[in-house]
Chains A and B, each alone.
Chain A
Amino acid sequence: DIMMTQSPLSVAVTPGESASISCRSSKSLLHSNGITYLSWYLQRPEKSPQLLIYQISNLASGVSDRFSGSGSGTDFTLKISKVETEDVGIYYCVQFLEVPFTFGSGTKLEIK
């Protein structure tokens, strides 16, 4: 199984500042079709996970452009610019390259 490792476990950010979350996979997520199947989700308190980013850097519909994704192969980063209180929650990366699909353990974002 592909292991997904996220860091940090938690991050506290002052509103208006930026935050970065790292995700590393135990195997390259690049498919032979040229697509890298790495997505990011935000789970706000007591809510279902919401897709933020798919295929490393594509913004999901309706998601603020304060969110951006980057990386390649096995190393990926989610950046949140100008953090707002509504960004509080747990961020997960996930690989959709092969079954079993696997999630990172999550990064909790809090507001200072």
Chain B
Amino acid sequence: EVQLVESGGGLVKPGSSLKLSCVASGFTFSSYGMHWIRQAPKKGLEWIALIYYDSSNKYYADSVKGRFTISRDNSKNTLYLEMNSLRSEDTAMYYCAKGAGDYWGQGVMVTVSS
């Protein structure tokens, strides 16, 4: 059974940093690209980052480019999202999703507030 489990969220102040993790199981993690997608409270879905299976390519939404970094450790079946210079508008539920978008995690909440 495919499972994606996010962690690392919490309440942080504007300008601070946070690193999210997503542990994958039930499939060959090293063979798939992975996404981060977020959803602000009561809002729609926003794709924010993609990393290829071998980390050879990474893509970002303009809203996070230069502040967020997607990475992965295939030996640990883990996807990461390092978030710097956090703003109130980054407050959202953050989901990791498997390459074709066929499986998503349960999400982890990030709240940026003073």
**Interface of A toward B, CB cutoff 8 Å:** 39, 41, 43, 48-51, 54, 60-61, 92, 94, 96, 99-106
- Sample 5 A-B pairs with CB under 8 A, ordered by A number: A51-B101, A54-B101, A101-B35, A101-B47, A105-B44
Asked whether A49 and B104 contact (CB < 8 A) given A99-B59, A100-B59, A100-B62, the answer is: yes
CA distance A100 to B61 in the complex (A): 6
Verify B45–A49 contact, CB threshold 8 A.
yes
* Total residues of chain B contacting the partner, CB 8 A: 18
Instruction: Chain A residues near B107: list those with CB within 8 A.
Output: 48
Verify A51–B102 contact, CB threshold 8 A.
yes
**Interface of B toward A, CB cutoff 8 Å:** 35, 44-47, 50, 59, 61-62, 95, 100-107
Q: How far is the CB of A46 from chain B (nearest CB, A)?
A: 10
Instruction: Chain B residues near A51: list those with CB within 8 A.
Output: 100-103
Instruction: Chain B residues near A106: list those with CB within 8 A.
Output: 44-45
Verify B44–A92 contact, CB threshold 8 A.
yes
Verify B100–A54 contact, CB threshold 8 A.
yes
Asked whether A39 and B44 contact (CB < 8 A) given A48-B106, A99-B50, A100-B62, the answer is: no
Verify A94–B45 contact, CB threshold 8 A.
yes
Verify B47–A102 contact, CB threshold 8 A.
yes
